[in-house]
Chain A
């Protein structure tokens, strides 16, 4: 089948696009491969941006990935503006149109913003991270808006840089993502390290006297030299508006990551079948697993085993390193497989439906073993 495919275009140069390109080659595609990326940088590791890259002294390489082997033509600093599904063309902002036999939609997502103010900093791309890192050198006072993993990682990085940091969160930080038990563990660690946490129903940004400030639902105002927001992401699907492929801002795919036999969508913009319905799971290993299956399916079709995604999530913040397998958040209390509360620990949660989740906290364990722990009742 691969002999019939002459040209593949991968739109997006994040880990999803990169993995798709490498996998196309492994699946036997030896034709003309083009990757379009709107950033001028080579593909990098996004999880590192809010972790090691914010912290490292002189090391500015923690986000770098190994050299690619796909041999694609890389068009970097170029944005896709449209897709013509009938004529099979990817239209670019430099006026060019790339013909394809197969196309991978992997344009990811961008940070959701609370304002149009240039003072509102976000952390999504490498340039954002380098800009934030530079600002932190002056040890400004910081307000971080957003109590999810990214907001908490940023707050942790700012604290480590020596800043005074206030975190604004809708409810208890991390409770939506991790559940109450683990959220409490992280909040305790954050408070001990000097983070100020402000819970609010909503927050907005405005400007007075040239400085951005955060206004809470009760009218209280938080001022700081630096305002960083981490309030979710928005899939980049506007360029697909005329195609009918994007539905409510996401691209829905089948269990092999395909929208049509010649069109795959992978990474943060794709909603794929999970045990909990069609979901977007904008995480590192999710992007990689989606891309592997979808790129293989573009070449080999229905012979490709469908995606059986097994979640893996990790975060590093406030001196805690967490690795989790299984679907989050987690209700109730865990069983301690190793260790105990307050120390390095290996925990397991069981669900009524027989599924489980395992969490390692400051506890080095290979993922395959963590997965076994998640499956074994103790």
Chain B
């Protein structure tokens, strides 16, 4: 499973970082950085939570 970021949609809310801080973070410029794109089964629930909390659907799982 992978996390895919649609960068133009991202508004930098950072709710995803709050849901899954080990998987992603916003950098100093407020740009989202995926720290891990390949998601293990152990992190699937966290990744799901991060994808779901985004109000502009900038993330998805593939």
A368 interfacial by beta-carbon distance below 8 Å = yes
Chain B residue numbers with a CB within 8 Å of A364 are 12, 26, 29-31
Neighbouring A residues of B57 by C-beta, 8 Å? 45, 64-66
Measured in the bound complex, the distance between the Cα atoms of B52 and A288 in whole Å is 9
Q: Which residues of A contact B26 (CB under 8 A)?
A: 364-366, 369
Provide the bound-state CA to CA distance between A65 and B61, in Å.
12
Instruction: Count residues of chain B with CB under 8 A from any CB of chain A.
Output: 26
Q: B52, A22: Cβ atoms under 8 Å?
A: yes
Interchain CA distance A174-B2 in the complex, whole Å: 41
Is B53 an interface position by the 8 A CB rule? yes
Contact A365 B52 (CB under 8 A): no
CB pair A365 B14 closer than 8 Å: yes
Partner of A314, one of B13, B21, B31: B13
Residue A215 is within 8 A (CB to CB) of chain B in the complex: no
The dominant DSSP class at the B interface is mixed
Q: Is A102 an interface residue (CB 8 A)?
A: no
Are B56 and A62 in contact, with the CB atoms below 8 A?
A: yes
Contacts of B48 in A (CB 8 A): 22, 26, 69
B residues sitting closer than 8 Å to A (CB atoms) are 9, 11-15, 17-18, 21, 25-26, 29-31, 45, 48-49, 51-53, 55-57, 59-61
Residues of A whose CB lies within 8 Å of any CB of B are 18-19, 22, 26, 45, 47-48, 52, 62, 64-67, 69, 284-285, 288, 292, 312, 314, 321, 323, 364-371
Show 14 residue pairs from A and B whose CB-CB distance is below 8 angstroms, ordered by the A residue. Answer: A22-B52, A26-B45, A45-B55, A66-B52, A284-B55, A292-B49, A312-B13, A312-B15, A364-B29, A365-B12, A365-B14, A366-B17, A367-B14, A367-B15
